[in-house]
Structure 1
């Protein structure tokens, strides 16, 4: 019997354990059901409160972007249907935000000037509520911020109208405010609106990210505020470059980059004007793309049924003007080169070129030193030195010193010294070409075909010399085969009176004593044609119009070109050329 009872007891124990497990699972299911019902009821209550109290709506940033846009469009449609114009034609502004800060920043904590009326405008970049009768906004404009304290008791709207109106003011809206200046009890300069009008509506959700201060509540907004501090930032490069308007709106430092760019151009213009230069404009479309070694963009003129090239440089036209008697001319404008895109190259870019009769490349080196050192001193307010993060913003910056005189190195002499070479003197010979091919092969320096002597030299100079040019350095006396428009060197056969200025290992400036002998110029173009026939589509074509102009007499002249974009990169600590172009070239989105 004992043996028969043992299995029976174990079975009873098993049944008991299974029952407990089922009861536990049922209890857990019931608790989960109750929790979900409570969450649902809580959410419904929040939505009802938002409906009853417009000053504390459900956070629309939690919406799907498409739903947000649809809601905004629906609101505007209702406004129009009710006979209201949601886009006023004008708003009278009495002062800019920076003027307002300067005028009233000295007020004491809690001080209000209720007898003063001021009208400000700007974009709402943050909104915080404190109950139904008080709404705080951050008003941004021109790189400055002023707090708006919208108080129902000081508004020209009644309490219900105040609540309804401000529930529909969203982040990103452009508004006009008329009110009085004052400071909050915490000492923040504010404007207290009497009238508040939305001038243009932002229909899209603004990107938002909590600041570090918001994360740990180091700097909360006013007592009772429904929001912690937040900043609106846009760091994704792809989005920033494609949507520059959003980038400028959300990243104040970007605006400073382009202000510096404008100052650079203004300085160059002022510098040349003071030297009695005349600013001119030359054609953007040419029958022959001349003035540089580059592949052009090709277009077609329908009426003339003519193939045209977008210009790669204004050089030939500007020298024709010097032939005509305009001894000092310059042009600041776009060039177009159908080449690769990288950190320092964009298909369209801005240059300044000038031509100065009765000067040579030595004079231009002196002028370049004066221009750039003076520009840096003006931008830095007194220093000849700048800091540049050459290896990325997280690395230690390098110091670049623009104090004149700049270092000068002779191209061929320095190349032979640094690389231990003995380059054949006749650089146009097959012997020189083969020698340079062997050097590139030995040094593992790649030169895509065609392997012309000029291209091989350029690769070697880039490998050995340019890497040493951190502080401003003139690489001078280029070979004739690399410089078809430069005048032969007066004491060094086979070389030209040319220099390139390198800073932070990048070319910034190119200049030379201009070739003004029409016979030699035709010979140089003919030599370039041989390179074109061998496959170098960047070699210059023969421009007969220019050669004919030279036959009328070009005085001894020095010419100079500067890349505005690369200079702006340097002086704004930007590592990507796209940072200094409002609308850089981008691949289409998929």
Structure 2
């Protein structure tokens, strides 16, 4: 069937326009400057979990404006944000669309706690809801699994996941801790979060941290946070890593893991590493999925209804 019609109603598109206006008003009131970095970049992020779309003449459609925004921070910009489309390969489903809108912003000299609070204020302002009290990753993970996600070993995580039928018994034994933590978090823990309002989870395990600072006083903990609402991830933020040498080492680790998994290995973003070496200021930042937020505000069961044309109708 040649269905040319939009997936969103006129009322939804009007609500979307109001949401975008409310976001921009919030940022303007707080002195955060809107900027636009390229959507087509010469290098892709190294993170193992990000599949970037490559274009025919070289380069990648950005899965996040993070690298461009951090280059601006290193050049001396103050608080900045970008609001617009980003792209990720292979992400189509109930709460995923390969092309979606992201709000991402950074504050130099800010702490993770500052951005947690500001993200909560933004959500409350534009969605008209009351956010729940933040909690630690370790606490919510233990409440569901009985396992300490910072201290337990890979075998314990894998055994629990298999017992709960989150993974087949024959699932590869060579998966690392990051794989099992992510699997359990997404399938068992995340659905329990944000039932009574948006909820922030802080201090994630450090296994897959790439451009995220780790806690100097608590080994194994990354200064990262995520916001959830009705079991859906809304935002992902962190205290940002500023050390270019550590960033290079972690990017190379991610490349190796990509190679071992048979995934496409991407070149390091030397421009980002150069910016970090020149002096990326201490900063905190966060990225928020605008389409998901709109869908939850409107009470939709999936992201498609919040888009003018969802993936099947593109």
Partner of residue 100 from structure 2, selected from 342, 349, 363: 349
What residue in structure 1 maps to residue 130 of structure 2? 403
Contact 1:291-1:314 at 8 Å conserved across structures: no
What residue in structure 2 maps to residue 330 of structure 1? 81
Partner of residue 286 from structure 2, selected from 560, 582, 586: 560
Counterpart Cα distance in 2 of 1:366 and 1:490: 22
What residue in structure 2 maps to residue 445 of structure 1? 166
Of structures 1 and 2, the one with the larger relative CO (CA 8 A, separation 6+) is 2
Q: Secondary structure at the match of 2:56?
A: strand
What residue in structure 2 maps to residue 526 of structure 1? 252
Describe how 1:32-181 pairs up with structure 2 within 5 A.
none
Counterpart Cα distance in 1 of 2:290 and 2:229: 13
Task: Calculate the TM-score normalised by the size of structure 1.
Answer: 0.49
Which structure: larger Rg? 1
Contact 1:528-1:540 at 8 Å conserved across structures: no
Contact 1:291-1:316 at 8 Å conserved across structures: no
Counterpart Cα distance in 1 of 2:199 and 2:112: 15
What residue in structure 2 maps to residue 298 of structure 1? 54
Contact 1:528-1:541 at 8 Å conserved across structures: no
Q: Secondary structure at the match of 2:248?
A: helix
What residue in structure 2 maps to residue 456 of structure 1? 180
What residue in structure 2 maps to residue 433 of structure 1? 154
What residue in structure 1 maps to residue 141 of structure 2? 415
- How far 1:540 moved relative to its partner? 7.5
Counterpart Cα distance in 1 of 2:115 and 2:150: 30
- How far 1:512 moved relative to its partner? 0.5
- C-alpha RMSD of the superposition: 2.4
What residue in structure 1 maps to residue 192 of structure 2? 468
Counterpart Cα distance in 1 of 2:204 and 2:63: 21
- How far 1:492 moved relative to its partner? 1.6
Gap regions ≥5 residues in structure 2: none
Cα distance change of structure 1 residues 355 and 538 upon mapping to structure 2, 3 Å threshold? farther
- How far 1:263 moved relative to its partner? 0.9
Gap regions ≥5 residues in structure 1: 1-237, 249-253, 302-306, 378-401
Deviations 1:531-555 (A, max 9, x none): 1122163888632221111011111
Counterpart Cα distance in 2 of 1:578 and 1:423: 33
Describe how 1:498-509 pairs up with structure 2 within 5 A.
498-509=224-235
- How far 1:460 moved relative to its partner? 0.9
Counterpart Cα distance in 1 of 2:267 and 2:287: 20
Cα distance change of structure 1 residues 453 and 537 upon mapping to structure 2, 3 Å threshold? farther
Cα distance change of structure 1 residues 568 and 506 upon mapping to structure 2, 3 Å threshold? same
Deviations 1:302-331 (A, max 9, x none): xxxxx2211111101101100001021111
* 2:223 maps to 1:497: yes
Report runs of 4+ in structure 1 exceeding 6 Å deviation. 447-450
What residue in structure 2 maps to residue 283 of structure 1? 38
Q: Secondary structure at the match of 2:59?
A: strand
What residue in structure 1 maps to residue 70 of structure 2? 319
Counterpart Cα distance in 2 of 1:536 and 1:271: 43
Contact 1:242-1:586 at 8 Å conserved across structures: no
- How far 1:287 moved relative to its partner? 2.2
Counterpart Cα distance in 2 of 1:552 and 1:411: 33
Contact 1:297-1:309 at 8 Å conserved across structures: yes
